[in-house]
Structure 1
Amino acid sequence: MNRAIVTRIAGLACAVLALGAAVPPAAATAAGRPRFGDAQRALDTLTAADGVVGALGELYVDGKRVGKGSAGSRLLDGKGGTVSSGARYRIGSQTKLMVATVVMQLVGEGRLRVDDTLADVLPETAEQDLVELADRITVRQLIDHTSGVPNYFESGKIDPLDFTTYVRPAHLVRLARGVPRQQEPGEKASYSNTNYILLGMIIERLTGHTLADELDRRLFTPLGMHRTYLPAKPPEGIRGPHNHGYLPDEQGGLHDVDRINASHLWAAGGVVSTAEEVSDFHRAYTQGTLLPPRLQEVIDGRKRPGPPDGERLCGGLFELREIVGGAPGFHAPTYVSADGRLQFAMSVTLSVRNDGVRPMVGQAAEAVLCPGR
Structure 2
Amino acid sequence: MKKTLLAGMAAASLLTGGAIVPALATTGESTPVQQSLDGLVRDEEFPAALATTGIGDQARSYVAGTAELGGRTPPPLDGRVRAGSNTKAFVSVVVLQLVAEGKVGLDAPIEEHLPGLVRGEGVDGRQITVRQLLQHTSGVPNYTAYLGVGDLGELRDRYLQPRELLDIALAHPASFPPGERWEYSNTNYVLAGLLIERVTGRPVSEQVTDRVIRPIGLRDTYWPGIGDRTVQGPHPRGYAATADGRVVDATEVDPGWAWAAGALISTNGDLNQFYRALLDGKLLPAEQLAQMRTTVPADLADGTEYGLGLSKTPLSCGGEYWGHGGDIFGYETRGGVTDDGRSAGVAVTALPGTFGEDDAEQNLRAVHAAVDTALCEGR
TM-score range, shorter chain: 0.7 to 0.9
Match of 1:30 in 2: none
Query: What per-residue deviation string (whole Å, max 9, x for no partner) do you get for residues 124-150 of structure 1?
Result: 415x76992111111111011111000
Match of 1:228 in 2: 221
CA deviation after TM superposition for structure 1 residue 229, in Å: 0.6
Instruction: Give, in whole Å, the separation in 2 of the partners of 1:356 and 1:53.
Output: 16
Q: Structure 2 vs 1, CA of residues 355 and 151 (structure 1 numbering), >3 Å: closer, same or farther? A: farther
3-state SS in 1 of match to 2:333: strand
From 251, 259, 268, the equivalent of 1:258 is 251
Moved more, 288-297 or 315-324: 315-324
Instruction: Give, in whole Å, the separation in 1 of the partners of 2:7 and 2:224.
Output: 19
Match of 2:336 in 1: 335
3-state SS in 2 of match to 1:76: coil
Moved more, 142-151 or 270-279: 270-279
Match of 1:319 in 2: 320
From 361, 368, 374, the equivalent of 1:368 is 374
CA deviation after TM superposition for structure 1 residue 195, in Å: 0.1
Match of 2:187 in 1: 194
Unaligned runs of 5+ in 1: 13-35
Q: Structure 2 vs 1, CA of residues 131 and 237 (structure 1 numbering), >3 Å: closer, same or farther? A: farther
Match of 2:97 in 1: 105
Match for 2:368: what amino acid?
G
8 Å contact from structure 1 (residues 144, 304) kept in 2? no
Q: Structure 2 vs 1, CA of residues 286 and 130 (structure 1 numbering), >3 Å: closer, same or farther? A: farther
Match of 1:146 in 2: 137
From 281, 284, 287, the equivalent of 1:294 is 287
The answer to whether the aligner puts 1:60 opposite 2:66 as a matched pair is no
Alignment of 1:243-282 (within 5 A): 243-249=236-242, 251-282=244-275
Instruction: Give, in whole Å, the separation in 2 of the partners of 1:335 and 1:172.
Output: 29
Match for 2:288: what amino acid?
L
Q: Structure 2 vs 1, CA of residues 131 and 86 (structure 1 numbering), >3 Å: closer, same or farther? A: farther
Instruction: Give, in whole Å, the separation in 1 of the partners of 2:8 and 2:196.
Output: 24
The answer to whether the aligner puts 1:217 opposite 2:181 as a matched pair is no
8 Å contact from structure 1 (residues 43, 55) kept in 2? yes
Match of 2:7 in 1: 10
Match of 2:25 in 1: none
8 Å contact from structure 2 (residues 116, 125) kept in 1? no
- Which structure is higher in RCO with an 8 Å CA cutoff and minimum separation 6? 1
Q: Root-mean-square deviation (CA), in Å?
A: 2.8
Q: Structure 2 vs 1, CA of residues 130 and 297 (structure 1 numbering), >3 Å: closer, same or farther? A: farther
8 Å contact from structure 1 (residues 155, 178) kept in 2? no
CA deviation after TM superposition for structure 1 residue 369, in Å: 3.6
8 Å contact from structure 2 (residues 47, 67) kept in 1? yes
8 Å contact from structure 2 (residues 141, 173) kept in 1? yes
Alignment of 1:7-156 (within 5 A): 9-10=6-7, 37-65=31-59, 67-77=60-70, 79=71, 81-126=73-118, 132-156=123-147
Match for 1:208: what amino acid?
G
CA deviation after TM superposition for structure 1 residue 172, in Å: 0.2
Match of 1:185 in 2: 178
Match of 2:158 in 1: 165
8 Å contact from structure 1 (residues 6, 153) kept in 2? no
CA deviation after TM superposition for structure 1 residue 232, in Å: 4.5
TM-score, structure 2 normalization = 0.82
CA deviation after TM superposition for structure 1 residue 174, in Å: 0.5
Match of 2:23 in 1: none
Instruction: Give, in whole Å, the separation in 2 of the partners of 1:242 and 1:274.
Output: 9
**Percent identity among equivalent residues?**
31
CA deviation after TM superposition for structure 1 residue 360, in Å: 1.2
8 Å contact from structure 1 (residues 10, 327) kept in 2? no
Instruction: Give, in whole Å, the separation in 2 of the partners of 1:281 and 1:103.
Output: 16
The answer to whether the aligner puts 1:285 opposite 2:278 as a matched pair is yes
3-state SS in 2 of match to 1:338: coil
Instruction: Give, in whole Å, the separation in 1 of the partners of 2:86 and 2:231.
Output: 16
8 Å contact from structure 1 (residues 74, 244) kept in 2? yes
Match for 1:362: what amino acid?
H
Match for 1:343: what amino acid?
S
Q: Structure 2 vs 1, CA of residues 364 and 6 (structure 1 numbering), >3 Å: closer, same or farther? A: closer
Structure 1's consecutive aligned runs of 4 or more residues displaced over 6 angstroms after TM superposition are 5-8
Query: What per-residue deviation string (whole Å, max 9, x for no partner) do you get for residues 16-75 of structure 1?
Result: xxxxxxxxxxxxxxxxxxxx944333312221124301111111111111x321111122
The answer to whether the aligner puts 1:204 opposite 2:205 as a matched pair is no
8 Å contact from structure 2 (residues 275, 336) kept in 1? no
3-state SS in 2 of match to 1:368: helix
Moved more, 36-45 or 90-99: 36-45
CA deviation after TM superposition for structure 1 residue 306, in Å: 3.8
